[in-house]
Structure 1
């Protein structure tokens, strides 16, 4: 389903039409399978906390958005593609690193990174691509510091991450990029076993030594946190800035009181709700029959929970197609819901709060250096955003 021309921030019109017809409907995928598509906000939250939906991609008939190859032998699976108890066992090993209080302690360090990069923008040439000069480096530096990944390798992991999240590549290309990232993190885990430091990968290496984790499990966890830790936030920084530049009234509202932490936090939630950079929804398979919204989801059926249209449900958010930074939008499903809710959301919120609370104050006349229609959009990705955002001031 494609977005309407000239509407870069809105879900595809077909999704809106399906939602108006009802909260759940059948759709057809590339392979001819016909999973359920859930467009209703309330129904999404209900199903995302239902243990009768499985995230286990190894189950026969599990729906896939694009053709995929089986995970290579010895690599194992990411825990987000598992069900409990395995999912819970592995997730618990890193949950403390993303606890709200622990993440909040990182705010000064994140602020320093943001300020340093803005200093570089102000001292450099104009126009500049905000993606390469700012949106990508902020979360990449933060997640590298947290994990213990050398930032000097950012070109390697960013290039391979881009392959993973692009729908237009072949299954073979995606599998090769996944293997390169796995081997890279596996090598870092081995290094941390010999020379541990004060970082998350060293903690995982210690668990491997203690027999609590396999090397493959540790490496897969590293891949997940490295890729998710920079790609999603980078796209939110750039796409959020694009949206604010297109809504100057809301930008002025934010810029006028960027020092108000409550307003900035509200703005982050509203932009997450409004933009929804995860554009393929959450994919599940039914384990046992579920009755919902007048339909029966049978065991074995596929389910796609489309968060982008769920967050535009007028039953949950009045006038949902309007960007309103003062809206109470904390219960959005941009991070999912239930046991698989995004592990790193406290860190993402913190980074976005620092960025949205700093960038437009320090560069008050920030503006696009091209026409809005000329901003290249990521229509071919699992993670939506802009390929470039040329700006000046």
Structure 2
């Protein structure tokens, strides 16, 4: 049997590399999606990317078309299990989590998380967010005059916050820290992605089993106390895994790439320091402009259908390009390809849309506002320490990011400039 197939069809988890034909929505030049994506969006917002292993692969890049597909659980399913081989004796090899679950299971599981992510509940995290951010800035200051925003700040802030939120003990955090980035890197094919996913879930199942005996103060312990045996370890581990995935790598990439964009024009940090409320609009525009989660969870057509003029067959994979939709000129104006922090508010899709919209969206906003505000006040002269063209970006990842971002924390002294 071919390594890419199993009984029933394609097995993504066995693929050693993803075909180049489907890579276009994940490619960028710097922070910008490749021009081919804009061309496809303008000419054919529902576009057939490829026909692979008997499966049509479509990309949806128009904003209106994307919203329609994302909100449609009647004609599309998020259940990826038919395309992933699994061993029923090893639950961590399954998929689980909200992103790959359909109603009614999705509805039941999401209800367990939603109360933890209301604005009212999240307000209690503000002091913790502020402390985490300030502590990391202190460490950067001590390390300076040059620091790496990626490793010294962007990854540490969301990691510490999510570990606290879930209730991961200090003794488990070193192992926990290493589990995120590989989950989104498609350069090694499905073997790398699903192998990393299995390791991450194994770890979280261990945490859940430990907290069954002694529930902690975080989200995992809270759900165990409230639900007891009504939720099993696999489901709870999947929920925790989704919170981890949604709150770690994505926020880290936003913090790093957002800092890069803001440093291009000193006025951005100046506005954050001096204009009340400016950081809110700047964060929203950064979310739209960067849309670091490049494609939404895959959808599968439940039946043959007409999708905005294209004939989609039952079982076809439909990928929604969030980064493409968020550059749609029909919604965001003729300058949609530009970062414009005074842009009139419009509904971006950086957090998705519909029932699978990111449950932690408001937490992410709180984190970004706190981090960029603190950076602007602590390091008003923050600047790149190397030419931007020397930066290396993640070339083929569902969550786009930059590998390192060396920055000069303070303006050079006059004698340094002269030297």
- How far does residue 50 in structure 1 lie from its aligned partner after superposition? 1.4
Q: Deviations over 1:274-311 (max 9, x none)?
A: 00111234420111344343334333222111010100
Distance 1:117 1:90 in 2: 34
Contact 1:163/1:169 (8 A) holds in 2: no
Task: Tell whether 2:49 aligns with 1:27.
Answer: yes
Q: Deviations over 1:295-351 (max 9, x none)?
A: 343332221110101000000001101211122345101111001101111111110
User: In structure 1, what is the equivalent of residue 91 of structure 2?
Assistant: 74
Distance 1:379 1:153 in 2: 31
**Aligned-partner SS, 2:229:** coil
Q: Deviations over 1:335-369 (max 9, x none)?
A: 11001101111111110011122211210011111
Between 18-27 and 163-172, report the one with greater CA deviation: 163-172
Q: Mapping of 1:1-393 within 5 angstroms?
A: 1=23, 7-28=29-50, 31=53, 33-51=55-73, 52-59=75-82, 69-70=85-86, 73-75=90-92, 76=94, 77-151=96-170, 153-206=172-225, 210-257=228-275, 260-261=276-277, 263-318=278-333, 319-392=335-408, 393=410
TM-score by length of 2: 0.85
What are structure 1's unaligned runs of at least 5 residues? Answer: 63-67
Q: Number of aligned residue pairs: give it.
A: 382
- How far does residue 376 in structure 1 lie from its aligned partner after superposition? 1.5
Cα RMSD of the aligned pairs, angstroms, is 2.3
**Aligned-partner SS, 1:105:** helix
Contact 1:308/1:334 (8 A) holds in 2: yes
- How far does residue 377 in structure 1 lie from its aligned partner after superposition? 0.6
Distance 1:138 1:154 in 2: 13
- How far does residue 32 in structure 1 lie from its aligned partner after superposition? 6.6
User: In structure 2, what is the equivalent of residue 65 of structure 1?
Assistant: none
Q: Deviations over 1:46-66 (max 9, x none)?
A: 12111211101124xx6xxxx
**Aligned-partner SS, 2:298:** strand
- How far does residue 9 in structure 1 lie from its aligned partner after superposition? 1.6
TM-score by length of 1: 0.90
